[in-house]
Amino acid sequence: MLKIDLNGKIALVTGGSRGIGEGITRCLCNAGAYTVFTHTGNLARSKRIEELVESIIKEGGKTKDAAVDALDYTGMSALVRSIVKERGRLDILVCNVGKNLARDVAEMNETDWRRFIDINLSSVFYAVKAAISHMVKRHYGRIILIGSSAAYDGGGGAIDYAAAKAGISGMMLYLCKVYVKKGINTNVVHPCVIGTDLVRERYNTQELWQRLVSQIPVGRVGRPEDIGGMVAFLASSWGC
């Protein structure tokens, strides 16, 4: 039977405290990886983060949270260095930070464009840049980038989000071309509709939710653990 075994592996998940990120953090921990996950440090969510850490530990997992702004390259680099210093290495990097705000192009301004491109694309670059040299040094690494089906279908209403997620595919191709011979495998996962809090807020009536579900061929909205399971697979020896 196929078993995903990440025992002994050290992972970092950016934006790993809720939604898809939480599903990824839980799945990596369940597979045995010691997983550090980042969040914004929002005090309003501190109790939820504490509960996430406690529940993972209660289930036998090993995890730690870190309040680091995904757009703070200095902070991200310091976090990676601290993980390497404490644990000896970083095996797995999952770049999950992202934000989507549906609106028409005419409603946007240049500041909006730059902000959302940074959140959805620059954040990936900063995390990869912070981690890549440590992985090259050990000739081993697994990088998984979380994109979106918006890269293929235009997404749910934001040109900046669709453009940034398409850019993530370009990053993946570059990283594969340059770093696979250095022992680093890079993959991208493009989720479609996943039942996160943010999606439920947008489709907040029974009518809207059923209309959304009716457009999905399998007849249900995806779950965060669906993406988490794929990430764990790609991070394992099976994902080579």
pLDDT digits (tens, 9 = 90+) for 61-120: 999 999 999 999 999 999 999 999 999 999 999 999 999 888 999 999 999 999 999 999
Q: Which of 126, 161, 174, 179 is catalytic?
A: 161
pLDDT digits (tens, 9 = 90+) for 200-230: 777 778 887 787 777 778 878 788 999 999 9
Would you call 152 a catalytic residue per the annotation?
no
Edge-to-edge strand list for the sheet holding 62-67: 62-67, 34-39, 10-14, 92-95, 141-146, 184-189
Q: Can you tell me the distance from the alpha carbon of 129 to that of 212, in angstroms, rounded to the nearest whole number? A: 37
